[in-house]
Structure 1
């Protein structure tokens, strides 16, 4: 009876996290499945990525990163209900700023701006490193929510916190600032951002683009 209950609980958990297949034998480790999933995801092979992340989840049902990875793929596929379910499970297992950040993106895409702001603000609050990433996300959410003054401050704070070698991050943030200034009719400021972006595109700008 205890064995049956354990099997039923595992089946219920797998269903709650969107699992579609359980392998009886698996020679790969959790980390190997996660690495394969990341490779497939980067290649745009999302079904294969899901298979690997799901296999990793079967190996360790308490590992938050597997649910987070599944949420990311479902977000790419615009399957918002499944993405949200995985993100919430990841946050429940191990709250991390990146989990709240991506949950914020998801809620923004769903049109829940209040929820998105709350989630990304939590990511900013929790961040001990790489906070510029979450400030940039916060700026995007604020811009879409019509809080343009707050968005500008978030973007500028993000740009000021970017490490010297992270030119790709500056490229992204300047692009958002340019979008914001064009939206508010500040053509001169937008032109300055566009010029900064052009400078970052040059080989002399260094690695990161």
Structure 2
């Protein structure tokens, strides 16, 4: 229409903004300050680890999420965030993070191991996790570590494969006891097996025997 004055979008909101400011007793426009996060993604992860060690899981989660906002392909942040969800028993979210981590590093032993425990604790996706873990321990020597073999044994136990579970536990215990001894083929002597890992293996073997008691041999005729 002739003579009509059209306000640009930013001008339309200006009178309302001024009215709100005047109503609040302020006649000056506010200064808009944009704060930039000074930390790198790696520094956020380091801070998250510090919080995690102190048991402050929510603060650790915040830092890992901030790291991922800066770098969505940061593998360590992805795995650590999954670990937080696992500790908080949010198994579905933990699984999602571990799967995203495995997209970044397919077949990674650590992410596969932790994904396995999300499956074990939740009772969901055990067969898938078992297939992934079988691939890890049958791959390079690094996968034949006692902690990974122990996880494999637990997965096999939950998949109702007691004989195969005992094989994994027995090998895990053997390698754990050999760690730090004279050099042997296939044994990483630079990484001694922590005592708590050996205790876990023994506990899981005990659980296996309780779940699947050994059958007594049939009496001879």
Identify the structure with bigger relative contact order (alpha carbons < 8 Å, sequence gap 6+): 1
1:94 equivalent to 2:105? Answer: yes
| C-alpha distance in structure 2 between counterparts of 1:153 and 1:170, whole Å | 15
| C-alpha distance in structure 1 between counterparts of 2:209 and 2:55, whole Å | 33
1:30 equivalent to 2:44? Answer: no
1:140 equivalent to 2:154? Answer: yes
State the secondary structure of the residue aligned to 1:129.
Answer: helix
2:58 corresponds to = 47
Give how far 1:120 is off: 1.8
Give the aligned length. 164
Query: Residues 98-140 of structure 1, C-alpha deviation per residue, up to 9 Å, x if partnerless?
Result: 1111111112233232122112223323453262211100111
Q: TM-score, normalised by structure 2?
A: 0.67
| 8 A Cα contact 1:143 1:180, kept in partner | yes
| 8 A Cα contact 1:36 1:49, kept in partner | yes
1:128 corresponds to = 141
Q: Which 5+ residue runs of structure 2 have no aligned equivalent?
A: 1-33, 181-191, 215-221
Give how far 1:173 is off: 0.9
| C-alpha distance in structure 2 between counterparts of 1:84 and 1:185, whole Å | 32
Distance 1:141 1:52, change over 3 A: same
Distance 1:141 1:24, change over 3 A: farther
Q: TM-score, normalised by structure 1?
A: 0.70
Give how far 1:178 is off: 2.2
State the secondary structure of the residue aligned to 2:141.
Answer: coil
Give how far 1:86 is off: 1.1
Query: Residues 29-83 of structure 1, C-alpha deviation per residue, up to 9 Å, x if partnerless?
Result: 3332212212222332111011111121122222112111111111111222321
| C-alpha distance in structure 2 between counterparts of 1:124 and 1:42, whole Å | 29
2:74 corresponds to = 63
1:3 corresponds to = none
Q: Which 5+ residue runs of structure 1 have no aligned equivalent?
A: 1-22, 187-209
1:103 corresponds to = 115
1:195 corresponds to = none
| C-alpha distance in structure 1 between counterparts of 2:146 and 2:126, whole Å | 20
| 8 A Cα contact 1:97 1:127, kept in partner | no
Higher deviation after alignment, 62-71 or 156-165: 156-165
